Amino acid sequence: MAQADLASEVIASIRAVFAPVGVYLALVTRNNPYSSAASLLDRPDTAAVIADAFAEARSHARQAVQSAWYEHAPVTETLLGELLADVDHAYSAAALAHLRAEIHAAYSSVPPAEFVSGVTPPGINPGREAADARAQAVQDAVENFARWAGLRSSLSADVASGNARTLAQLESAGPGLRKRWRTSKQPPGPKTCYWCRKLNGVTIPLHESFASFLGGPVDLTGHGHLTQPPHLYHGWLQGPKLHPHCQCHVELVPGDEEIPVPQGEGIVPAPSGFVSAAEVQAMPEGRYRALVEFLRAAAHELGQVLERLGRLVHGR
């Protein structure tokens, strides 16, 4: 299944589960204009409706993740277990408490109103109008939660699909091969994720991780604001996906030729004087330690110079 279709299907299924919940809570709220948020949430019927929806949505999300995984990888892997645990967390008791708090806040956001003789225009029912607005606020709160839950579940399924595809490809690789990161377009265009462009062309042994080639934060705007690289899912980066909706793939290449220190293609090189993560990783330990000691000494000397300049400025 295409990634866009997978995401849309998961989001639609989760929202469909919660839609009747919003409608039911709105109906109860509208028919009890002088009740309270606590009374609404403490009713056995509303509590059961919410709990049943949580259980059904959790089941839908787990099934989507498992289907996305097993479409590509026929075996259970640790990463799949982590994804299913994330799904369970999204529909845990804490998430249920969060939804109840959102419903309570939405209900309380519309205060009760009463007819005031001589003030309220004839034919107006303030209590009914307030109840209608309150009911809509409660329904909106449920729908907002459903959108969040659907998006989160779709991202879990998306990660399952991409990473299972990579894992299956690596497990089927024969001896003497290496893996190369490739973006969906060659060469990668300016709209391609910076970090994916940086990894494009990096070639490493099959069982090594691409994580060390991401490097640190980068000023992508030119205004001094550093952007952190994508957060790796449980540190896993044997191949794509690097981020949600990542379109990259792994290319298997012969490993019988000498491959230099991997460098991403389609990325502007680091300015002169900077050392990349790949260069640090390839550096002999003795040279690395010598550079560290040099930097410590240089930092100490710089501190002494700044101290002397401060004394001159203040006439001491």
pLDDT tens by residue, 137-148: 999 999 999 999
Rg of the chain in Å (alpha carbons): 28
| Whether 236 contacts 207, CB under 8 Å | no
Contacts of 234 (CB under 8 A, 6+ apart): 79, 82
Higher pLDDT, 284 or 104: 104
Place of tokens 């491959």: 259
Query: For the chain, how far is it from start to end, CA to CA, in angstroms?
Result: 74
Place of tokens 């009760």: 112
Confidence of residue 258 (pLDDT cuts 50, 70, 90): low
**Statement: residue 168 has pLDDT above 50:** yes
> Stretch 156-175: mean pLDDT, rounded?
89
| Whether 253 contacts 203, CB under 8 Å | yes
In whole angstroms, give the CA distance from residue 174 to residue 51: 49
**Statement: residue 274 has pLDDT above 60:** no
DSSP-derived letter for residue 187 is S
Would you state the pLDDT for residue 126? 73
Confidence of residue 302 (pLDDT cuts 50, 70, 90): confident
Contacts of 101 (CB under 8 A, 6+ apart): none
Would you state the pLDDT for residue 76? 78
Q: What is the pTM of this model?
A: 0.72
Domain ranges, ordered by start, for the chain: 3-171, 177-273, 283-316
